[in-house]
Amino acid sequence: MSVYVETATAAKECGACPSTSCNTAHLTRLGIKMDDWDYVVALAGNPNTGKSTLFNAWTGLRQHVGNWNGKTVTRAEGALRYNDRKFKLVDLPGTYSLLSMSVHEEVARDFVLFGRPDVTVVVVDANRLERGLHLVLQTLEITDRVVVCLNLIDEARRNNLKIDERALARDLGVPVVPTAVRHGEGLPELLRVVDEMAQGRYPTRPHRLNYRDAALEAAVAQLAGQLEGMFPGLPNARWVALRLLENDESIIRAVREGTLGDLQRPDAFPELMQLEAR
Amino acid sequence: MTLNQLGVGRKATVKKVYSESAERRRMLDLGILPGTVVETVMSSPLGDPVAYRIRSAVVALRREQAELIEVQENFTADEMESRG
Amino acid sequence: MAANVEQLLETAARLRRETGDDLHGRITEAIYTDAGEIADRAVSRDETTPGGIHLDQFFDRVLTSRLWGFPLMVLMLMVVFWLTIAGANVPSAMLAQLLQGTVYDALHNAAQAVGAPWWLSGFLIDGVYLATAWVISVMLPPMAIFFPLFTLLEDLGYLPRVAFNLDRLFKRSGAHGKQSLTMMMGYGCNAAGVVSTRIIDSPRERLIAIITNNFSICNGRWPTLILIGTIFIGATAPPMLASFIAASSVVAVAILGIIFTLLVSAFLSRTWLKGEASSFSLELPPYRPPRIWQTIYTSIIDRTLIVLKRAVIMAAPAGAVVWLISNVYVGGDSVANHLIQWLDPVGLALGLNGVILLAYVVAIPANEIVVPTILMLTLNAAKSSLAQTGVMIELEDDAQIYQVLTQMGGWTFLTGMNLMLFSLLHNPCSTTIMTIWQETRSVKWTTVASLLPIGIGVVVCLLTATVARLLF
Ligand SMILES: Nc1nc2c(ncn2[C@@H]2O[C@H](COP(=O)(O)OP(=O)(O)OP(=O)(O)O)[C@@H](O)[C@H]2O)c(=O)[nH]1
Ligand SMILES: [Mg+2]
């Protein structure tokens, strides 16, 4: 992991305040006030890993949380200000994979793929690490700007699990921040890393999947080339190519109807409800 | 044997997943792949579905899903001995 | 462009054949292999001290056991409703005394002091204000207890265990096991329940879940059941057992709702919505100790007050309508009375009455206002015959409500019971109907989902009324 550079303002403001609240001192929860923003941050991850809990902690909103998989089925948006920058935070339904296709999982997949978030925070359950990494590795195929939130670390401690987050960060090539979101543990650090990542000040070397298959690699390269020609600026042609190879009907439909480009517009989700104004 | 035949508290290694299309994707995404170790945790009051521990998570599957997952039961050294 | 696209898709199809089959399997395997290696390097387990998994397993063994699984589910429901009924009793009465007594009288006095015309004070105080006051005193206390209790069970992780226990029954009905999760979301609000069906992958099974969600009693209907269960059923038992019997009656209706969910699902999956069962996988998360105070705080702020706000917004115009139809006279009688008399024969045949049917028409926008509407209509109908006597009727506790309903409204035990049944079995509220349309985009299925429950309700009420008439 690279070394963080404390910003000058942070250091100044920090001078007086007690150590734990220090980093949250310049976090302002803005609720649903989102007329403009500097960065969009997506919260993705397996179901029931604490995404909505994190969303609530940072926006001051009260998105419903519950201890079962599938509590969140629509996209919710909120805002926060950190130092002088405004972030739009997007809480997504939980998903096991970016390859699957139930309605609520598609919401998550489409946003990560085409919503062009500046940072994607993948919330991972420290007690079920392999499954979380399955999603992290897929996300890294799409975007470099990933921060892994290694959540439920309190439960991991109770289960006598020791997780070396530095080894993880080294292997994944992106920052990993251990947290217990529900107890506020690790949140200031996470926010700082997200902020740096958003500004592009965080060098990443994302882990590249090894499909161990030359024919597949060649096929993906060929299709991706064609796609980039047809949809200039498509951010993740390789991934779309893979989906086409897999005969993913919703992606084929999007290509046919020319909506692949539309999906890049952040407002292209008419069926999704925003969190009610409260 | 198939996964549904694995007794409560027993562990086994997945050999092959016979499920197809969407169901196959779901099983794979949950991490049910050849080589994965699974354990039967408990069965529901009416006998179906049954919950399995898969990659540290407890996941309930109906008999129809479990029947399509071929496994080989894992025995401890002691058990192997007592079986001759 | 179109030609280009087809060309691209053809290339994709050709490459797909060349790369061989089970591409998805190979990719997933590759990803999991990497994930496994990375996780292995990062995680170490301290084997010296025992972990917390054992307590979880103990809970699971009990809560999903062959012997205890089902009885414990019923017991859990019983405890929730017993606490709700027993706990809401006193605050409800206090609220009623305050809002329908003190404040109501004060408002009338003030109106008199400023010399407001009778129709204005009547419209505003006896119409708009009274309906609102009733909604608050009937709904607020039970919901303020029910929501936190339910949320505690949800945070604990009990809901997926219920789905685990019930799945076999849903499978028999040709429905998806996660339908029971959407059913439980419906216990808060059917519109939310309908949206939550998105967790079901298969469109066929999702549609079944949407259509049957109305058999989950929502927050607008619990208070009706609780009130009627208390005054018509609980009150028949000795005082010691009253709230227990009342809770049992509410639980019985809830279980009846589950039975109808299963029956209708079975019917749909064997007729209009035939098809294969889709795959089922349900994760059972670890039990988590709920954060009690936070739960209470958020479920009161988020759920109870939001629900109450909606109820009040709906109640105010309903109160106005009720006052108007009760005070506009046509041919010597009020419009309300004409309507009631016209609906009475049908109502009585169903073991209900004209007032109840009219109330359900007024309450199409929201179930919450059924009870206030019934009470106001009954009182107004009675008032017109008692008008000259100048009797002031007050409704400040359950016993008085019971008296008004039985003596002035002519209600019997059958009326009370059938109202409980009809409360379970009637059309969804307008918000839910809109949500069903948004989620299905189908006029046909929205119509089915709206009319099927009330069709069943009419048949069931007709049946119980006929049986009751034959027996007594
Ligand atoms: N012990 C502990 N529990 C947590 C933590 N974070 C979240 N939880 C609990 O985990 C459960 C799931 O939290 P949610 O925020 O609803 O999870 P989610 O990822 O939004 O879930 P879905 O919307 O279903 O995908 C809730 O019961 C939380 O209280 C944590 O750091 N520690
Ligand atoms: Mg969520």
- The angle subtended at Cα C311 by Cα C185 and Cα C82, nearest 5°, is 55
Which is nearest to C279 in space by CA: B13, A98, A101? A101
Shortest Cα distance, chain B CAs vs residue C161, angstroms: 9
Map residue C308 onto helix, strand or coil: helix
Q: How far is B61 from chain C (nearest CA, A)?
A: 5
Residue C323 or C436, more confident: C436
Helix (H) or strand (E) holding B51: strand B50-54
CB A54 within 8 A of CB A122: no
What's the DSSP call for residue C229?
A: I
Mutate to test the pocket of ligand 1, among A182, A190, A275 (most ligand atoms within 8 A of CB): A182
In a domain, C404, yes or no: yes
- For residue C212, which of C268, C169, C250 has the smallest C-alpha distance? C268
Are C381 and C412 in a shared domain?
A: yes
Label residue C61 by pLDDT band (50, 70, 90).
confident
Cα dihedral A71→A62→A89→C160 (10° resolution): -10
For residue C181, the chain A residues in CB contact (below 8 A) are 68, 70
Q: Chain B residue closest to C25 (CA)?
A: B28
Whether B20 and chain C come into contact, CB under 8 Å, resolves to no
Same-domain check for residues C378 and C292: no
Interchain contact, A162 vs C1, CB within 8 Å: no
A36-40, A124-128, C171-175, C331-335: least confident range: C331-335
**Are A196 and A6 spatial neighbours (Cβ–Cβ below 8 Å)?**
no
Chain B: list its partners (3+ Cβ pairs within 8 Å): A, C
| Torsion on CA atoms C170, C174, C175, C180, rounded to nearest 10 | -10
What pLDDT is recorded for position C395? 65
**Average pLDDT for chain B:** 91
Indicate yes or no: CB of B65 within 8 angstroms of CB of C281: yes
Q: Residue C154's Cα: distance from chain center in Å? A: 17
- pLDDT one-digit tens code per residue, C246-294: 999 999 999 999 999 999 999 999 998 988 788 889 999 999 998 888 8
Q: Which domain holds residue B62?
A: 3-83
Whose CA is closest to atom 5 on ligand 1? Answer: A182
Q: What pLDDT was estimated at residue A6?
A: 30
Q: How many CB pairs under 8 A join A and B?
A: 27
Q: Which residue has the higher pLDDT, A261 or C87?
A: C87
For residue B62, the chain C residue with the least C-alpha distance is: C280
The shares of helix, strand and coil residues in chain A, as percent rounded to the nearest 5, are 40, 15, 40
Measured CA to CA, the distance from residue A152 to residue A70 in angstroms comes to 18
Chain A interface test: which of C14, C21, C24 (most A C-beta within 10 Å): C24
Chain A hits for B31, Cβ within 8 Å: 130-131, 134
The rounded Å distance from CA B48 to ligand 2 centre is: 28
Q: Does residue A231 have a pLDDT over 60?
A: yes
Share of chain B above pLDDT 90, in %: 74
C365 shares its domain with C290? no
Examine the pLDDT at A3 and tell me if it is beyond 50: no
For residue A257, pLDDT over 80 is answered with no
Nearest atom within ligand 1 for CA of residue A72: 23
| Residue C176 within any structural domain of the chain | yes
Nearest CA among B68, B84, B7 for reference residue B32: B68
Per-residue confidence (pLDDT) for residue C396, from 0 to 100: 67
Q: Cα(A43) to centroid of ligand 2, in Å?
A: 9
Q: What is the position in ligand 1's atom list of the atom closest to the CA of A94?
A: 25
Q: Which of C198, A44, A12 is nearest to A52 (CA)?
A: A44
C53: left (phi over 0), alpha (psi -120 to 50) or beta: alpha
Reduced to 3 states (helix: H, G, I; strand: E, B; else coil), residue A86 is strand
Say if residue A276's pLDDT is above 60.
no
Looking at beta carbons, which residues of chain A come within 8 Å of B32? none
Do the Cβ atoms of B56 and A128 come within 8 Å?
Answer: yes
Nearest to A98, CA basis, from C277, C200, C196, C31: C31
What range defines the domain where residue C446 resides?
A: 317-471
pLDDT (mean) for A199-223: 84
**Cα–Cα dist A145/A202, whole Å:** 9
User: Any CB–CB contact under 8 A between C6 and chain B?
Assistant: no
Domain boundary among C269, C298, C327: C298
Q: Is residue C322 within a helix (H) or strand (E), and if so which, with residue range? A: helix C305-327
Is C55 touching A (CB cutoff 8 A)?
no
Give chain B's radius of gyration (CA, Å).
13
CB–CB contact C281 B60 (8 Å):
yes
Q: Which of C37, C43, C280, C287 to mutate to test the interface with B (most CBs of B within 10 A)?
A: C280
Q: How many domains does chain B have?
A: 1
With the C-alpha atoms ordered B10, B12, B16, B21, is the resulting torsion angle positive or negative? positive
- Inter-chain contact B26–A100, Cβ cutoff 8 Å? yes
On whether both C327 and C437 belong to a single domain, the answer is: yes
Give dist(CA A244, CA A224) in Å, integer. 10
Contact assessment for residue C198 and residue C440, using Cβ atoms and an 8 Å cutoff: no
Residues C328 and C451 reside in one and the same domain: yes
- State whether C368 and C322 are in the same domain: yes
State chain C's mean pLDDT as an integer: 88
Nearest to A226 by CA among C4, B71, C374, B45: C4
The C-alpha angle with vertex C85 and arms to C84 and C90, in degrees rounded to 5, equals 105
Nearest to C54 by CA among B10, A159, A49: A159
Q: CA-CA distance, A45 to A76, in Å (whole number)? A: 15
CA–CA dist C147, C245 (Å, integer): 21
Is residue C210 in some structural domain?
A: yes
Percent of chain C having pLDDT more than 70?
A: 95
B39 CA to middle of ligand 1, Å?
25
List the domains of chain A with CATH numbers: 7-198 (3.40.50.300), 214-277 (no CATH)
The answer, yes or no, to whether residue C467 has pLDDT greater than 90, is yes
Show the ligand 1 pocket: residues with CB < 6 angstroms.
A 45, 47-53, 65-67, 69-72, 93-94, 151-152, 154-155, 180-182; C 155, 288
- The tokens describing C315, both together, are 């109640």
Please provide the DSSP assignment of A236-275 as one string.
THHHHHHHHHTT-HHHHHHHHTTHHHHTTSTT--TTPPPP
Closest CA to C319 of C120, C449, C132: C132
Q: Inform me whether the pLDDT recorded for B55 exceeds 60.
A: yes
Q: Which of A242-251, B66-75, C32-41, C268-277 has the lowest mean pLDDT?
A: A242-251
* CATH of residue B67: 2.30.30.90
**SS3 of residue C409 by DSSP:** coil
The label of the residue with tokens 């999007």 reads A254
Residue C53, pLDDT score: 59
Q: Are residues C91 and C164 in the same domain?
A: yes
Closest in B22, B26, B56 to A127, CB measured: B56
pTM across the whole model: 0.87
Instruction: Provide the domain count of chain C.
Output: 2
B77 to chain C nearest CA, in Å?
A: 20
- H/E stretch holding C20 reads none
Q: C240 and C359, same structural domain?
A: no
Nearest residue by C-alpha to atom 11 in ligand 1: A67
Residue with CA nearest ligand 1 atom 10: A50
C404, C379 contact by CB (below 8 A): yes
